[in-house]
Amino acid sequence: MNELSPEQTGRIIALAMDLAREGGTQELMEFLDHGLPVDTQDEQGNSLVMLAAYHGHEGTVRSLVNRGADVDLRNGKDQTPVAGALFKGEEGVVAALVEAGADLDAGTPSARAAAEMFGRTDLLP
């Protein structure tokens, strides 16, 4: 089997990130089925679960969690998926991440601090 070039790998990662952003769960799971690591990150350190969470795709988040995604994997700005979901007011995504054990005190700002800042403490357990 031929190895992928760095350019091909970059294109695959970009496509996967777009699928996470858009909530293309089925297609994204196919990428994982073919060997893409569930905790793949883009150049800014955003993981698949980070992008799905930030863009409000609860089903995609749950599917990634079921595949073993690290719900506390921080991006290059030290932000966590749950803090991003809180910022956006994504109640279902926050619930999914909390159920999966997301650390509400991790990152900068932490999810608790983000909830306070943006008036979304009602979304926290």
- Region 42-67 average pLDDT: 97
Is the pLDDT at 33 greater than 70? The verdict is: yes
In angstroms, the CA 53 to CA 87 distance is 10
pLDDT (tens digit, 9 = 90+) per residue, 112-124? 999 999 899 998 8
How far is CA 40 from each of CA 78, 79, 104, 111, 125, rounded to the nearest angstrom? 16, 16, 22, 22, 28
Which class is domain 6-123?
mainly alpha
Is the pLDDT at 1 greater than 70? The verdict is: no
Give 3-state DSSP helix, strand, coil % of the chain, rounded to 5.
55, 0, 45
**Phi (first) and psi of residue 47, to 5 degrees:** -90, 170
Is the pLDDT at 55 greater than 90? The verdict is: yes
Q: How high is the pLDDT of residue 2? A: 58
